[in-house]
Amino acid sequence: MKKKHVFLLVVLILTPLALVNTYALNYTITFTGTGAITSVDSVIVQNLTRGTLITVPTGNVLNLTDLPNAVELLNADDETIHVYQDSNDGYSTISFYTKEAGKTQINAYSLDGKKIVETSTNLQEGVNSFKVSLPIGVFVIHVSGNGYKYTTKAMNQKGTLLEPKITYIGSEKLEFNIQQKSKSNTLGITKMNYSVGDRLLYKGISSYYRTIVVDVPKGSKTMNFDFVQCKDVDGNSYSVVKINNQTWMAENLRTSKYRNGVPLTNMHYWKNYNEDTDNDSKYGKLYDWYTVADNQNIAPSGWHVPRDSEWADLENYISSNLGTSPSESKSLASTTTDWVSSATEGNVGYDLTTNNNTGFSALPTGYFLYYQPYNGYYYFNDLKSGAYWWSSTEHNPDDAFSRNLLNNSSYLIKGQYFKKNYGFSVRCIRDSQ
């Protein structure tokens, strides 16, 4: 049956699915941009549940599939070929896009280069599918025709010695107007393994704009990135994430200057953990509260250091709307192995794959203490086990309010007795729009 599709890619993805396993999950995720810029240069996709990560280049769509025996492509120059192994009899099905009508040659080789089976046939433009039977083992399949070449691999793990054979299944003609065809030909497919319920973190990148969205896909959809500027006076650009009605930086501040360009003094205002500049790009800087509260403002233009009440709004939203699994702290903490493990369910360090359903992506950056009586001695602590952020709100003349995450806690902890000369991280929040 002929069907009209806006995008060629949707046909390419769904056709092999219908031919092989009707029960298999197969979603297409397209990406758009709005806000300060509308183009999307690339998207970094992290499967938070599985701990896997891929990059979707500009112009590509994301194909999510749970086919357990789908084979990864060996050749990355064109991804419009798919190989699926039948889960019952050991046969494989290959489907590929024939760009022009004409003769197509299909060869299967063993890994030592010996040709196992071949076929040559005239094909029409469209998606063409073949059934491939091979002996036990792994084999390279090469497809060539007018204007296209594909290389991938297939395998037989079923313990059945099949007679080598390539059998034509059928084709589907694609119908679209000239404008649609031109658009489709500029797109490609980036594949990622996915199971129902997996949480994905998308980081959309366009120029120096970076926006994070977390989602649990339940079908094919369009994912939009609202690009807003978050760039400090040093030229550092920050990823951002919207949580409820607040837009937060999704990484820690690392500026060395006030917004007006005046340098901060390293000896009294900020430090990298353990004085190691290698920690700067990953963890950001640690600032004392006096720097945070200074009216020259260290936040990027259009942003500010959050007040205690704004931290409370975030905490209340998470506890009221996201439930208890994952916990408050796990909803904000990153899934990276930087966090020290914990044996207690609900704590940040317990099963890191269940962290970060907000995209806040908190890392355990630690803090510093400043001992002025000992000639300005700095003491660093809690790297890998704690994250600490200032608010701009003071508690009393000596102390200020903060928010903290610990690897062995399930809560976003409100701190109120931390001295103002302690060095904590800073997460800025966007000004009201």
pLDDT grade, residue 172 (50/70/90)? low
Distance of alpha carbon 432 from alpha carbon 302, whole angstroms: 9
| Helix extents (H) in 153-307 | 178-185, 280-283, 289-293
Which residues lie closer than 8 Å to 136 by C-beta, 6 or more apart?
156, 157, 158, 159, 160, 161
What rounded mean pLDDT belongs to the chain?
83
pLDDT grade, residue 148 (50/70/90)? confident
pLDDT grade, residue 86 (50/70/90)? low
Q: What average pLDDT does this structure show over 53-81?
A: 66
Distance of alpha carbon 389 from alpha carbon 284, whole angstroms: 11
Distance of alpha carbon 248 from alpha carbon 16, whole angstroms: 41
Distance of alpha carbon 245 from alpha carbon 223, whole angstroms: 18
H-helix or E-strand spanning residue 20: helix 8-20
Amino acid at 7: F
Q: What average pLDDT does this structure show over 54-68?
A: 84
Q: Is 60 exposed, middle or buried (0-12, 13-18, 19+ CB in 10 A)?
A: buried
* H and E: helices and strands count for the chain: 6, 27
pLDDT of residue 73: 34
- Which of 366, 198, 196, 192 has its CA nearest to residue 284? 366
Give the 3-state secondary structure percentages of the chain, helix then strand then coil, rounded to 5.
15, 45, 45
Q: What average pLDDT does this structure show over 108-131?
A: 85
Q: What average pLDDT does this structure show over 397-411?
A: 95
pLDDT grade, residue 12 (50/70/90)? very low
pTM here is 0.68
| Tens digit of each residue's pLDDT (9 = 90 or more) over 175-214 | 333 333 333 334 588 989 898 889 999 999 999 999 999 9
| Tens digit of each residue's pLDDT (9 = 90 or more) over 278-289 | 999 999 999 999
Rg of the chain taking only CA atoms, in angstroms? 27
Whether 386 has a pLDDT exceeding 60, the answer reads: yes
pLDDT grade, residue 221 (50/70/90)? very high
| Tens digit of each residue's pLDDT (9 = 90 or more) over 364-373 | 999 998 766 5
